[in-house]
Amino acid sequence: MTRRKATRSAAQREQSAQAFKRAQAMRWRKPLVSQSQASDASISSKPRDKRLRSPPGSSAASAPKETGQKSDRAPSPSHIPNALTLSKSPTPRVSDAPARSKSRAKSSRSGKKVSRSSKENSARVAHNLRHQVKRAQVSRGKAQVEVIRAKEQAAKALHAESKAVSALAKARQETQCKVQRVTERLEKKIATLQVGHASDQQEIARVRAAAIDEVGQLCLEVKKLGRSLSDSEKHVEKLRARKDAMKKKISALRMGNARSLVQQQKAVAKAGRHCLKSKGVINPRSRDMIRRLLGIGTAMTRVDETVDIVLEGVGQQKVDSVDRRSVSRINREGGVAANVQMGYELSQSQSELIYCLYIGRAALNFYAACSVSGDATTHKHINYESKHIMLTVPDYNAPPSTSPPESTVPTQRFLGINTSVNHTSETQLQGWKDVMGSIFEAYNAAPIGKKNPLDVRNFACAVKGMNTDHAEDQKKLFREFEGWKEICEQELRGEAVLRSSELADIHPILWEEIARVVNEAGGQEAWDALPLDEKEKRNEEAHTRACRRIGKERLDALTPEERCYIALFIWGGCCMHKEMNSIKGEGCSNGGDNMVAAAGGDAATKERVMEAAQGGAIKLASLAGSVFAHKDKKKGQQDTLQVFMESIFGYMARFPDTSNTRYQSYCDAAAELITQLDFYHSFLELVCDLKEKQVFTNMEKNVYDALADIPTLTELCVLVIYSQTISCPFMRDVCSPTQAQTNLLELGPKLMGVIAHIDKLDNDTSLALSPEATYETGALDGKLWEQPDAFYAVQALAPRLPHLEGAFRAFLKGAHATWVRFTSEFDSGGRIDAASPSERHLAFMKPTNDDNEGALAAFRQDMYHTPRLTIQQFNATRMYRKNDTYSFMKRCFGPEDHRAVMAHARMLDASQIPQAERAAQVKYYEETQAQKLEDDAKRQAKADAKNETLDGIELHLNVPDLILHPPICAILDLELDWHRRNGDTQVPMKKDVKHKANKVYALAAAVERYHAARLPQHSLEGIASSSALPKVPAGPIDDDLGGGSGEDYRC
């Protein structure tokens, strides 16, 4: 009941609240009459025109809208406008301006109509307002009735609310009592439960701890099982993947098994084929292979066959072929590449800093430093010259990622062999110019050389040293080369000045050369009439002269140290030639007359006299070489000697090759003969007995007798002792494995040590001849004897040779003089002695000239085996191999460089260089022949004129008259020439009778011989004492002894 009453009281309270809200709303709502009155007022304020009247129903439509709006107070009659107020209010402006303007116009035109219509409108508005007031009063009454009803409902609601509040208070009190009783019961139960809960908590804690331990163990087992499961899953996945892969592989194998045989055949065929060409052109790798095969000696006609054999040996088959023409062209390309390499290395060579005044201001110039060497020989009466250059070069085998470093020690490069029309120094210098010109031409034409082009003058300025033999033509070549080097230096510096903008100080030189050219042409008119080619030629000559003059002025402006550094050029002689010529020095002491005779003649006379003066041990060694190892394989006893030697000693040994020019061959032959003296005696006897007539040839007889001749044996022993004490130790030092790193210019102390050791042996011969002599004191280097058996064989023969010591001393004196003469370049104050260590390094040169000697020997051998081999092909093969051009091309060449080399090689092939060289040789022969014929004609004309003069002279055949009244010297010379022409060989030469008195007595003797050849007459002494002589009056004799033909003759 209580809950139901409370529910009813709540519903009643809600109804009462809603009724109160409606009453409040009705109380404050605006009456409808106000809205309608406002509408009528707005209508009455408009113009009284029928066209502007509002449409019917507008006020009724707006009334309900306004009734919904609230108002602060109830409308009163005072707020309702009357008709009079509305009629007197001003007419509002119409929004349409054109309509107002039209109404004004109409009103102005019709005033009467306006007054009538306004009266009608006022009556109508008043009528409408009355009706609206009535309706508003009715609405107000209805609103008041509704307010009364709302108040009643609110009162009822308030009464119901008070009942509900009292019922609610009673229900709340009852509820609180029930809650208190329930709370007491619950507190008692909670206390009981808390006591039991404490014991339960302890049990729970114990159980929880046990459960945690068990759960931890279970977690570990679960983790282990999880890991094991994961590993098992992974292993299963791997096995599945492997299974799938194996299935795929098996499937692929099954699918490919059907075509495996065809694939195998194709693969084998492809792997077994080697292509030399790419798109019909031999590829660079094959070209390098061909050039390397040629470098190891493969003949050009055998290259294709060799490639077949090599490929067959490795199980491959050559698809393409290479003919001999292609091999020749490829070899020529290697030579062109070697020339490009030389130009590149000269441009990249290590430079030395030279301070100089350049174009009037201090500047730094860099010059590549190098030294050159050369030698020459003849082959089938044609001159051949070999050339090498020493310079620092990059290491082309360095890792590709780094730039190629330069070597610290200069390297020898082969420049090739060239022919020359003669062996003069001028021709040799021109050969250097031609060779370097061809090298720079190939270098400048290649892409690698277009960045830094060079010409032959740069090479001349870079040369700092020259290494040759000691011949006079080589020394003259050195002087010619030095002059050319100076000219090139002047030209380059002059051209540099002309290229500059500072030309004020050289204007006089230029004007002088221009005036000189015009004057040489014969004036301005003659110059203008010259052809264009002739003008260009003369202008070029004038330009060269101007450059030289300007360059010379710039060089003269430098300090002496700078000029000396720029002009550095040192000559060094080959150490092998020094040692070889020291053996010939022995002739200075034993063949002095022959040496004097040789020194006074030409080259042919020297060779003839020296050949005639040869004898003793040297002649024996030469003859023995011709008998035992002749250079002609069809002569001599070389094979017989080998067979007989093997039967005696159990081995074969070739006799030293003295029939050819070989270093130390004579000393080696002497050592061989002294060591095996009895053997060679027996062998010669065997040779004689094997002949049908059992007689020696003259050469064999001379050798046989010389082997028993004490003086000859003495000289042989001297050669052996000298070779063991001086020659072999010196050559061991010079030709050591470190020869390439040894600078000849640093060997001055060693060469002076050789001379000192010779003097030491000369002062005490027991160091080499006594039985107690050892290598420690006897040898130059203090090392073991080169041929101990030969040295001890000399010791055994020494008691039988009484003049051994004297002969050895004489040999040492001649060798000393030769060593002093052939080491003159190391004299104190010379160029080598004055040069600094850095300057000597700039002119670095090897101690010997073996490279050029070996190149010429190799060329002779190749010409012997391949007679049609050209010099160009030989040079290409040797330069490519010796200069390591393969590594250079591999490191520095690109496709454009390969194409440029091929094009240049084709150009060289088309230029027919061998034919041009042969034509130049023939031209030289013709010019020489023509010159000799011309000289012969001149000599014959001179002889004819002289004979004509001699035929016309009057001879003085009266000796007393000749002595008392001698003619002038010119007539004396003519008469002496007449008697000489007449066959009197006792007439002295003109150079031997320089004074008039000598000429008179020589002519008197010739006249006496002339008369003696015809009739017996008294001698000059008898004539002088004869009474038949005319009596000469006392006084001065009228003669011309004080005069002569332009000479100062004295009695």
Q: How does pLDDT run across 657-693, given as a tens digit for each residue?
A: 887 766 778 899 999 999 999 999 999 999 999 888 8
Q: What is the pLDDT of residues 289-298, one digit of tens each?
A: 999 999 998 9
Residue 100: C-alpha distances to residues 48, 49, 122, 662, 683 (Å): 13, 12, 21, 147, 167
* Residue 449: pLDDT over 50: yes
| Domain match, 757 and 632 both | no
| Domain match, 184 and 48 both | yes
Residues of 655-690 as b/e, b for ≥16 C-beta within 10 angstroms? bbbbbeeebbbbbbbbbbbbbbbebbeebbeebbee
Tokens at 982, concatenated: 């007449």
User: Is 737 within the bounds of a domain?
Assistant: yes
Residue 253: its pLDDT value, please?
A: 78
Q: How confident is the model at residue 315 (pLDDT cuts 50, 70, 90)?
A: confident
CA separation for the pair 440, 449 (Å, rounded): 9
Of 824, 857, 887, the position where a domain reaches its end is: 824
The H-or-E segment that residue 411 falls in is strand 411-420
Residue 275's domain spans which residues? 269-322
Residue whose C-alpha is closest to residue 314's, from 274, 368, 279: 274
Please say whether the beta carbons of 745 and 835 come within 8 A: yes
Residue whose C-alpha is closest to residue 342's, from 771, 879, 728: 879
DSSP letters for 686-717: HHHHHSSS----HHHHHHHHHTT-HHHHHHHH
For 611, list phi and psi in degrees, rounded to 5.
Answer: -65, -40
| Domain match, 158 and 71 both | yes
* Residue 492: pLDDT over 80: yes
User: Is 555 within the bounds of a domain?
Assistant: no
Q: What is the pLDDT of residues 1-13, one digit of tens each?
A: 444 444 455 666 6
| Domain match, 34 and 133 both | yes
Residue whose C-alpha is closest to residue 474's, from 411, 418, 427: 427
Residue 906: its pLDDT value, please?
A: 94
* Residue 1020: pLDDT over 80: no
Is residue 1026 classed exposed, middle or buried when 0-12, 13-18 and 19+ CB atoms within 10 A define those classes? exposed
| Domain match, 869 and 997 both | no
Q: How confident is the model at residue 49 (pLDDT cuts 50, 70, 90)?
A: very low
User: Is 247 within the bounds of a domain?
Assistant: no
DSSP structural state of residue 300: G
Q: How confident is the model at residue 355 (pLDDT cuts 50, 70, 90)?
A: very low
| Domain match, 607 and 726 both | yes
Q: How confident is the model at residue 1039 (pLDDT cuts 50, 70, 90)?
A: very low
Rounded (10°) CA dihedral 292, 297, 298, 300: 90
Q: What is the pLDDT of residues 211-240, one digit of tens each?
A: 888 888 888 888 888 888 888 888 888 888
Of 708, 732, 765, the position where a domain reaches its end is: 708
For 389, list phi and psi in degrees, rounded to 5.
Answer: -135, 140
Residue 65: its pLDDT value, please?
A: 38
CA separation for the pair 18, 14 (Å, rounded): 6
User: Is 220 within the bounds of a domain?
Assistant: no
Quick one: angle between helices 698-706 and 616-628, nearest 10?
A: 130
Please say whether the beta carbons of 502 and 360 come within 8 A: yes
Mean pLDDT of 105-116: 57
Residue 569: its pLDDT value, please?
A: 94
| Domain match, 403 and 451 both | yes
Rounded (5°) CA angle 218-222-225: 140
User: Is 938 within the bounds of a domain?
Assistant: no
| Domain match, 818 and 860 both | no
DSSP letters for 135-159: HHHHHHHHHHHHHHHHHHHHHHHHH
Mean pLDDT of 538-558: 87
Of 155, 181, 203, the position where a domain reaches its end is: 203
CA separation for the pair 36, 162 (Å, rounded): 43
| Domain match, 79 and 42 both | yes
How distant is the alpha carbon of residue 241 from its chain centre? 57
Q: How confident is the model at residue 475 (pLDDT cuts 50, 70, 90)?
A: very high
User: Is 899 within the bounds of a domain?
Assistant: yes
Mean pLDDT of 601-628: 68
| Domain match, 702 and 626 both | yes
Tokens at 998, concatenated: 């000598």
| Domain match, 749 and 764 both | yes
User: Is 146 within the bounds of a domain?
Assistant: yes
Please say whether the beta carbons of 869 and 324 come within 8 A: no
User: Is 159 within the bounds of a domain?
Assistant: yes
CA separation for the pair 926, 977 (Å, rounded): 35
* Residue 160: pLDDT over 50: yes
For 1034, list phi and psi in degrees, rounded to 5.
Answer: -65, 145
Q: Write down the pTM of the prediction.
A: 0.68
Which of 16-30, 43-57, 368-382 is the most confident on average? 368-382
Residue 280: its pLDDT value, please?
A: 85
| Domain match, 752 and 608 both | yes
**Domains contained in the chain, number:** 6
* Residue 918: pLDDT over 70: yes
CA separation for the pair 895, 892 (Å, rounded): 10
CA separation for the pair 113, 731 (Å, rounded): 160
Tokens at 589, concatenated: 């002491």
